[in-house]
Structure 1
Amino acid sequence: MQRVRVSSQQAAVHKLGDSQMTLSPKFRLPAARSTITDHALDFDNSLTGEPLIPGFPDDVALQCLLRVPVDQHTSCKSVCKRWYSLFGSKERFFTLRKVLGFHDPWLFVFAYHKCTGKIEWKVLDLTHLSWHTIPAMPCKDKVCPQGFRCVSIPHEGALFVCGGVVSDVDCPLNLVLKYEARKNRWTVMKKMVTARSFFASGVINGMIYVAGGNSTDLYELDSCEMMDPKNGSWSPVSNMRTHMASYDSAVLDGKFLVTEGWFWPFYVVPRGQIYDPMTDNWENMPAGLREGWTGSSVVIHGNLFVVTEHERTKLKVYDSGNDCWEVVEGPPLPENICKPFRVNCWESRVYVVGRNLHVAVGYVVENYEIATGGNGKKGGRFCVRWETVDAPGSLFDLTPSSAQVLFA
């Protein structure tokens, strides 16, 4: 059906795309339109009479084209002028996806080259299982990738990179960078109060927290600070009860869990702290929680899971009632997922990115008896099933330093 604009006057009625309704090249949405689809179809009205896909209404065609994987955009631009207009701008493409309600998960991996140390971000489209690259971060060249801490606000499509350390002089940074998936660009934010590296980070109620880490004089810190992402301002909160750098951290039940982590061989028992933002107070982590935290963590439906690094890379879950860990039923991490690996999650899926950026996807199911078809086999509270997404050869020499899930 042809879309027309109804006029209350007797003036001529114009079709969408009429030259009298041409927008500026910067793509601005009109102040008032009738439907969401009208907003989307207005992305290039100057190309009158040229359908997006011959034989399809533009609104249906646009729904199809907005599902094209990012790694195919370059070749799609050469199809016609309207496709060039759609695929030639990442900001335009993802703005239209947002207008039309697309909300798919993407796995953003902060990686570095094993030989040169050069850092870059690679993105795995979890729907099409294809990889693409985003613009380089605006930071110093000689940095230690492991010294940064990355956090994300997934449903806002926002990613934050904080701190870090200059590798040739061991100088911690108070750098803060923000990446927005819709705009496909980085923004330099206000600096942290304290320069730090190898610290803990997490998001609680939309606020970003950082704690501990190494200072400019290479001593461990006990300070903690909080950032409001809306205005980028940092403010200090209560100090931890001990000075320590962080191996891993998690947000569980609205509290910030920070662990020093095990180091092989196990000479000393690790330290751990828990911060409650409601009381602005730190307390020592229970012994069972900190002693069994032997890997990288994710929180799924209010439960803390760890992909272990020392126990045949099994997945285990924390039992807060008994202050102990139990092994999740199922196989260990696939053998081609080599350390060092980085972990994140979405819904009931665990994403483990290993060396060369091979990815293991763990499907976590509650109640093992149900998961095995109710055959009466007794098991733990959870079970896991792993699948592997092999990375292309072009990513062979990359090692992950962080993995974050964003929606776009």
Structure 2
Amino acid sequence: MSTTTATEPPSTPSQILIPSLPNDIALNILAGIPRSYHPLLTLVSKPFRSLLSSPLFYTTRSLLNTSQHFLYLCLRIPTTSSMQWFMLYQKPTKNSLIPLPPAPSPLVGSAFVAVGPKIYVIGGSINDIPSPHVWALDCRFHRWEAVPSMRISREFAAAGVVDGRIYVIGGCVVDTWAKSRNWAEVFDPKTEKWDSVDSGKDDFLREKWMHGSAVVNERIYVMADRNGVVYEPKTKKWDSVDRGLDLGWRGRACVVDGILYCYDYVGNIRGFDVRTGVWKELRVVEKQLPKFLCGATMANVGGKLVVVWERKGNVNEMEVWCAEIEVEENGEGELWGRVEWCDAVHKVPMGSSIVHCLAVSM
């Protein structure tokens, strides 16, 4: 397994891409082709294959606004010690999960965030020993890279991205000066440096072990066993989470158009509007989702609410199901959702579990 970063190519391809066309024009044409066709493009020629494996190609896609959003899913499978990662491959006939290289370390209780084309796996524990280690999956090339370690070890921490920087909160018991000072840290992917975040002098806040987090309007909302906290990096201010949000937030959530979605006690999807402090049930039309979804988690994939859950399959098998929902708030403030597709996307051995899912743009 490679854990090195791809070498930056020259500013323009060194070989002719399309005869009779300047390379910069050819590059712009190729960058506009959907990623689902990239495997076929690599078969056309060696220059095509070289270009599609370079950061230059994905930078061009981003500049031309032709980047696409993809769902990545992490599963824990009993037959392997490492977390197994998959990418959702959407086709007109059948959506399915494509297996990727496993994570380098069998960590439990890691935090996950996506920044650009990379997924960061932060902390966790091995044999109940918390770790400061961080790994990144470069989704352009599906390679793992080592990232500078945090200042302290963490497990079951919260993480969120604001302005391209990764904030990690909690995941440790404040029993030393170092843990107190670094209870919250921030990582800048550009400089690859960690810095401590001042969490104030309230020890009660710093003793939290986190089970959920989300970023709404550039504020990081973090949930613990009791109550929660919110941090605004722009003003560097900490505050308590709204009591209504605290009482209604259960499980893994995501944010679409400023609304935080999660499942309630009876298996309905609900959305919390931080502007009004009110929970609203998502009214799904046309197709109905099953209640009491086991292992359900959610992600914002290109502005769509994508829900992933576990369902018992054949003997000794578990099915991974996925649904894509277009959500909107009507003129009366109600939340409506239309299921665009819903299907089983993978089968794994019984005893497997969904760890996390998140979206990547590239």
Give the TM-score, by structure 2 length: 0.77
Q: Distance in 2 between matches of 1:199 and 1:60?
A: 41
Q: Give the superposition deviation at 1:184.
A: 3.1
Paired position in structure 2 for 1:226:
186
Following superposition, the deviation at residue 106 of structure 1 comes to 0.8
CA contact (8 A) 1:123 1:134 kept: yes
Q: After TM superposition, give the deviation of residue 271 of structure 1 in Å.
A: 1.4
Give the Å deviation of 1:67.
3.5
Q: Secondary structure at the match of 1:99?
A: helix
Distance of 1:117 and 1:333 partners within structure 2: 36
Cα deviation for residue 172 of structure 1 reads 0.7
- C-alpha displacement of 1:181: 2.5
- Correspondent of 2:215 among 217, 235, 251: 251
On the 8 A contact 2:167/2:186 being kept in 1, the answer is yes
Correspondence for 2:36: 69
Q: For 1:189-204, list aligned pairs within 5 A.
A: 189-204=147-162
Aligned residue type for 2:284: G
Distance 1:383 1:137, change over 3 A: same
Alignment gaps of 5+ in structure 2 = 1-6, 311-318
Q: 1:347 to 1:382 in 2, by over 3 A?
A: farther
The equivalent residue for 1:383 is 336
Map 1:236-275 onto structure 2 (within 5 A): 236-239=196-199, 241-242=204-205, 243-260=207-224, 270-275=226-231
Give the distance between the partners of 1:400 and 1:333, measured in 2 at CA: 22
Correspondence 1:9-408 to 2 at 5 A = 28-29=9-10, 39=13, 42-43=16-17, 59=26, 63=30, 66-67=33-34, 69=36, 73=39, 82=45, 86-87=48-49, 91-92=53-54, 95-96=56-57, 98-99=59-60, 101=64, 102-126=66-90, 129-139=95-105, 141=106, 143-144=107-108, 147-153=109-115, 156-166=116-126, 169-215=127-173, 223-239=183-199, 241-242=204-205, 243-260=207-224, 270-303=226-259, 305-312=260-267, 314-320=268-274, 322-330=276-284, 334-335=289-290, 338-355=293-310, 356-367=319-330, 380-395=333-348, 398-408=352-362
- 1:152 deviation in Å? 0.8
Deviations 1:308-361, CA, capped at 9 Å, x for gaps: 15222x221224455331212226972299421221103431111212332111
Bigger-Rg structure (1/2): 1
**Alignment-mate amino acid for residue 211 of structure 1:** I
SS at match of 1:329: strand
Q: Structure with the greater relative contact order (CA < 8 A, sep ≥ 6): 1 or 2?
A: 2
CA contact (8 A) 2:69 2:361 kept: yes
Q: Could you say if the C-alpha distance between residues 393 and 302 of structure 1 is closer, same or farther in structure 2, counting changes exceeding 3 Å?
A: closer
Listed one character per residue, the Cα deviations across residues 113-165 of structure 1 (whole Å, up to 9, x for unaligned) are: 145453121001357644323333222x4x32xx0111012xx2122110011
State the secondary structure of the residue aligned to 1:402: strand
Cα RMSD over matched residues?
A: 3.6
Distance 1:132 1:340, change over 3 A: same
Q: Cα deviation per residue 1:204-251 (whole Å; 9 max; x = unaligned)?
A: 11111111124599xxx7711111111121111123642111111111
Cα pair 1:197 1:215 within 8 Å, conserved: no
Q: Percent identity?
A: 20
2-side partners of 1:60 and 1:113: how far apart? Answer: 40
1:27–1:41 distance in 2 versus 1, CA, 3 Å: farther
Aligned partner of 1:351: which letter? Answer: V
Kept in 2: contact 1:151–1:202 (CA 8 A): yes
Contact in 2 for aligned 1:248/1:297 (Cα 8 Å):
yes
In 1: Cα distance, 2:239 partner to 2:130 partner: 27
Structure 1 residues without counterparts, runs of 5 or longer? 1-25, 32-38, 50-57, 262-269, 370-378
How many pairs does the alignment contain? 329
Partner of 1:375: none
One-letter identity of the residue aligned with 2:209: A
TM-score by length of 1: 0.69
Q: Residue 282 and residue 388 in structure 1: after superposition, are their counterparts in 2 closer, same or farther (change >3 A)?
A: same
Q: Which amino acid aligns with 1:342?
A: T
Post-superposition Cα deviations, 1:69-126, rounded to whole Å, max 9, x if no partner, equal 37x83x886x66x1x664588624x743543543111111121214545312100135
Amino acid at match of 2:103: M
Deviation at 1:388, TM superposition (A): 4.1
- What is the distance in 1 between the residues matched to 2:152 and 2:195? 10
Cα distance in 1 for residues equivalent to 2:88 and 2:128: 32
State the AA in 1 paired with 2:111.
Answer: R
